[in-house]
Amino acid sequence: MVQAMTLNPGQAVGEAAIRIVDLYKRLNGKPVLNGVNLTINRGETLTIIGRSGEGKSVLLKHIIGLMKPDSGSVFIDGIDITRMSGRSLAEIRRRFGMLFQGAALFDSMTVDENVGIGLREHTDIPEEKIKATVKEKLAQVGLFNIENIKPAELSGGMKKRVGLARAIAMDPEIVLYDEPTTGLDPINADAINNLILHLKASLKITSVAVTHDMVSAYKISDRIAMLYGGKIIFSGTPEEIRNCDNPIVQQFINGQARGPITDNENNR
Amino acid sequence: MRQVVRIFGEKAMFFLHEAGSYSLLTMRTIAAIPQVFRRFRLTSEQMLMMGVASLPLVLFTSVFTGAVSAVQAAYQFRGYVPMRYLGTAVGKAVIIELGPVLTALVVAGRVGAAIAAELGTMKVTEQVDALETLALDPVKYLAAPRLVSGLVMLPVLTIFSNFVAILGALFVSIFFIDITAYTFLNGVKLFFDLKDLFGGLLKSFFFGGIIASVGCYHGFRTYGGAEGVGLSTTRAVVLASVLILISDYIIASILFG
């Protein structure tokens, strides 16, 4: 079983798609990330779990460079993106796709324009081919004949799936999922889980998902890491986390209202 | 005393920080202007929203601006200045000052608020973040088209405003001040100077840039959901209005001082 991740200077970096080293971040004067160390291997699906407000989304935004840390580094294939900006960071980002918690679809654009925006802006692919690709990506997420609809007319589940189609439209190497099943009914949530598994199998992408939905975490993950107190306190397979003897981890994954997590909060 | 110094210091630091952030964003947006022609559809949509859609409001404002200018000028002239100069006074006032400034203020309230609200909503719903994850620069994609639209459409609206205001003044002069159309229009032509017109349009050029850049600045800095969007909208209108009045004074001093 792999316990809390610490940086091993001798560890080979070649297999790691993403390596987070000693990441610190304060927001509004409060420490959110307090020395996060984490490695995500190429082709694996890692899910980061933790309580609401623990900093999971903040960590995810550091991986794609939407936030800069106070100290520490984020390596993408050995390149430290925390020191990057502008065009060089944009080049790295083209290797990513991201599904936001609320899908973050562009309100003024149709579904076709949303999904195809990356292809239209970054490639010289002819318009007919782009439309065909958009149709194909929407079909992959189980949506048909909605290209001309605006996001306001879509249900929550459909928005998430369109967001996912947009995230994979450019065939990224790495996909980030921010609370992919939050706000969805159990049927739509499981549909998203199945989509994530299908994409992993068909596109062989590296995935990082952030969630507090344990059903989703168990279903989609190769490894699960728990963020608590600004650090990764556990990282292992779903089986390992179920058998973990860390009481903080056990309280969270079993959904217990009382335990060391809530005792610590009451004592603050 | 310490408290006063501390508060003053905090306010000064805050002002400098805001001024610096605004300046940096504006410089980045100006640098992105050449890219606007790659995606001209975005700019033309903004021109429609800022310019064409503002015409009814500018028409309404300008008619009454011209009308009240004529009434006030006639009141002040009565017994001192011959009425044949009424058109001159109204023309100068409208072209140099009232047309550019009042047009800018009403457009700031409409368009500046709309820009801040739209970009603020995009910010709080993570659409701006989504653009960045798609390797698209929000400054190039969102701010630059709006800046170009403001720089182009405010002078256009000002020309329209000037024309309508003078028509409004003409109407009032004929029907309420008992001056013939010939007398009024002759007065407008009498001391007309192209420098006045270009000076007014130069003002409106800068005003358009202020409205767009301030709207974008507050929009991008929005946080805190719907309340945050409301705050950003209000701040954008207030700041744009203040900067319009300050820059009006500066430009007038340079051109006409």
What's the CATH code of the domain at A83? 3.40.50.300
Picking from A61, A93, A106, the nearest residue to B127 by CB comes out as: A106
* pLDDT tens column, B126-184: 999 999 999 999 999 999 999 999 999 999 999 999 999 999 999 999 999 989 999 99
CB-based contact A4:A227 (threshold 8 Å): no
Q: Provide the pLDDT confidence category of residue B243 given band limits of 50, 70 and 90.
A: very high
In the prediction, which pLDDT does A6 show?
Answer: 34
- Its domain, for residue A40, covers 1-88+220-268
Picking from A91, A104, A121, the nearest residue to B130 by CB comes out as: A104
Residues paired with A175 in a beta bridge: A97, A207
The ranges of chain A with pLDDT < 70 are: 1-14, 267-268
Distance CA B146, CA A9 (A): 49
The candidate with the shortest Cα–Cα distance to A160, out of A136, A133, A184, A186, is: A184
Shortest Cα–Cα distance, B168 to chain A (Å): 38
Shortest Cα–Cα distance, A259 to chain B (Å): 32
Q: Does A121 touch chain B (CB under 8 A)?
A: yes
Residues paired with A19 in a beta bridge: A39, A75
Contact call for B130 and A98, based on CB within 8 A:
yes
Q: At A147, give phi and psi (nearest 5°).
A: -60, -35
CA dihedral (A61, A65, A70, A76) positive or negative: positive
* pLDDT tens column, A59-72: 999 999 999 999 99
Residues paired with A21 in a beta bridge: A73
Residues paired with A231 in a beta bridge: A228
CB-based contact B183:B91 (threshold 8 Å): no
Q: Does A204 touch chain B (CB under 8 A)?
A: no
Contact call for A104 and B132, based on CB within 8 A:
no
Distance CA B117, CA B220 (A): 10
Complex prediction ipTM: 0.88
- Asked, for residue A21, whether it belongs to a domain, the answer is yes
- Its domain, for residue B164, covers 2-256
- Asked, for residue A65, whether it belongs to a domain, the answer is yes
- Asked, for residue A226, whether it belongs to a domain, the answer is yes
Contacts of B224 in chain A (CB under 8 A): none
Across the range B33-45, mean pLDDT stands at 89
Distance CA B119, CA B176 (A): 46
Distance CA B186, CA A261 (A): 84
Picking from B122, B127, B136, the nearest residue to A121 by CB comes out as: B136
Shortest Cα–Cα distance, B19 to chain A (Å): 21
Contacts of B137 in chain A (CB under 8 A): 90
Residues paired with A74 in a beta bridge: A20
Going from the C-alpha of A77 to that of each of A18, A43, A91, A135, A164, the distances in angstroms are: 6, 13, 13, 31, 24
Tally of structural domains, chain A:
1
Distance CA A161, CA A179 (A): 13
The candidate with the shortest Cα–Cα distance to A199, out of A191, A211, A189, A210, is: A191
Q: What's the one-letter identity of residue A177?
A: Y
Sheet harboring A96-99: ordered strands across?
A96-99, A174-178, A206-211, A45-49, A223-228, A231-236
- Which residues lie closer than 8 Å to B44 by C-beta, 6 or more apart? none
Q: What is the 3-state secondary structure of B108-159? A: HHHHHHHHHHHHHHHHHCCHHHHHHHCCCCHHHHHHHHHHHHHHHHHHHHHH
In the prediction, which pLDDT does A268 show?
Answer: 58
Is this model's pTM higher than 0.80 or not? Answer: yes
Contacts of B145 in chain A (CB under 8 A): none
Contact call for A106 and B130, based on CB within 8 A:
yes
In the prediction, which pLDDT does A11 show?
Answer: 35
Sheet harboring A79-80: ordered strands across?
A30-41, A16-27, A71-76, A79-80
Residues shown for chain B: 257
* pLDDT tens column, B48-65: 999 999 999 999 999 999
Contacts of A90 in chain B (CB under 8 A): 135-137
Contacts of A66 in chain B (CB under 8 A): 129, 132-133
In the prediction, which pLDDT does A2 show?
Answer: 33
* pLDDT tens column, A181-197: 988 888 888 988 998 99
The candidate with the shortest Cα–Cα distance to A106, out of B52, B133, B35, B111, is: B133
Shortest Cα–Cα distance, B133 to chain A (Å): 6
Q: Provide the pLDDT confidence category of residue B6 given band limits of 50, 70 and 90.
A: very high
Q: Which residues 68-127 in chain B show a CB within 8 A of chain A?
A: 121-122, 125-127
In the prediction, which pLDDT does A7 show?
Answer: 33
Contacts of A100 in chain B (CB under 8 A): 126, 129-130
Distance CA B57, CA B43 (A): 21
Contact call for B135 and A97, based on CB within 8 A:
no
Distance CA A162, CA A104 (A): 10
Tally of structural domains, chain B:
1
Q: Is A79 helix (H, G, I), strand (E, B) or coil?
A: strand
Q: Does A66 touch chain B (CB under 8 A)?
A: yes
Q: Does B130 touch chain A (CB under 8 A)?
A: yes
Shortest Cα–Cα distance, B137 to chain A (Å): 8
Q: List the Cα angle A37/A39/A40 in 5-degree steps.
A: 145
Choose the mutation target among B35, B115, B128, B133 for the interface with A, i.e. most A CBs under 10 Å.
B133
- Asked, for residue A133, whether it belongs to a domain, the answer is no
CB-based contact B137:A90 (threshold 8 Å): yes
Burial of B172: CB neighbours in 10 Å, binned 0-12, 13-18, 19+ = buried
Q: At B56, give phi and psi (nearest 5°).
A: -60, -40
Token pair of A214, please? 């344990």
Q: Does A106 touch chain B (CB under 8 A)?
A: yes
